[in-house]
Amino acid sequence: MVTAVKVEQTVQEWGNGLGVRITAPVARAARFARGLRITVEVVEGGVLLRAAGKTKLTLAQKLEAFDPKRHGGEAMASGRVGTERF
């Protein structure tokens, strides 16, 4: 495993548990994003965080990422057919 980003942080008390913030540079290097499901595993020498699935995007994020040129534009660019004709 190649270490691209390494930071030292402090474990803090959050409610009834403990927490560490994942800073933006670490999140980018790990390809973590808001909504990403992760697994937390205790391993020899520490804790390992891994992505457990794909990020669930909000509707706003999906619409922002939509590009009509890339995604083909209108679903029926050929015009009206069948009972759609007036």
Which carries the bigger pLDDT value, residue 79 or residue 11? 11
Q: Answer yes or no: is 70 within a domain.
A: yes
pLDDT tens-place string over residues 45-75: 999 999 887 777 788 888 888 887 777 666 6
Supply the CATH number for residue 53's domain: 2.10.260
For residue 53, give the DSSP letter.
S
CA nearest to 27, candidates 5, 10, 59, 44: 5
In the chain, pLDDT over 90 holds for what percent of residues?
Answer: 35
Q: Answer yes or no: is 5 within a domain.
A: no
Whole-number pLDDT of residue 56: 75
State which residues form the domain around 61: 12-80
pLDDT tens-place string over residues 11-44: 999 999 999 999 999 998 888 888 888 999 999 9
Rounded Cα gap, residues 55 and 59, in angstroms: 13
Rounded Cα gap, residues 21 and 16, in angstroms: 16
* Cα separations in angstroms, 19 against 9, 10, 14, 22, 68: 10, 9, 6, 10, 41
Q: Answer yes or no: is 76 within a domain.
A: yes
Q: Answer yes or no: is 4 within a domain.
A: no
Q: Answer yes or no: is 16 within a domain.
A: yes
